[in-house]
Structure 1
């Protein structure tokens, strides 16, 4: 377990945030950490929506349960945190 610095580019925010996460945090925890710095500050909340983390420039998010230590991210690397639409019931 170690603190790990990442840069967060949160969807809809115009400010890049430096966030400190733990190498044992999951991507879901990383998304929540990033949201703390953006949602209801410069970005409106989207009730019912989830959050996903992906490497900047990628279209595929990391699995929610993947740990920072397993993601291959470099210190200070920029991640994108994007809204995920709620699942629709059929």
Structure 2
């Protein structure tokens, strides 16, 4: 178990955050750690799943930081996903909505 600092943004928010995660944290946990600093503070909660995008890929919720090969200070974007996707997808081929900010 190693601590990995990540640069993170939540889609729709103006701030980039420094979030400490564990290399064994899943993307679901990473998304929750990022959302903790944004949801209910600058953005309202939504009834949708949280997803993590890294290096152009929307990652699986059960994939760990180590499995995603995220070195220290990698950038991730967290967003609400109402599409119901449960597989990793290339953001260029993602039809669940815009991945741009």
Output the CA distance in 2 between the equivalents of 1:9 and 1:41: 14
Output the CA distance in 2 between the equivalents of 1:27 and 1:4: 13
Q: Deviations over 1:3-36 (max 9, x none)?
A: 1100111011100010000000000000000000
Greater RCO, 1 or 2 (C-alpha within 8 Å, sep 6+): 1
What TM-score, normalized by structure 2, do the two folds share?
0.78
SS at match of 1:68: coil
Aligned length, in residue pairs: 84
Structure 1 unmatched runs, 5+: none
**Shift of residue 77 of structure 1?**
1.0
What TM-score, normalized by structure 1, do the two folds share?
0.87
Runs of 4+ residues deviating >2 angstroms: none
Give yes or no for the alignment of 1:73 onto 2:73: no
Query: Root-mean-square deviation (CA), in Å?
Result: 1.2
Structure 2 unmatched runs, 5+: 85-101
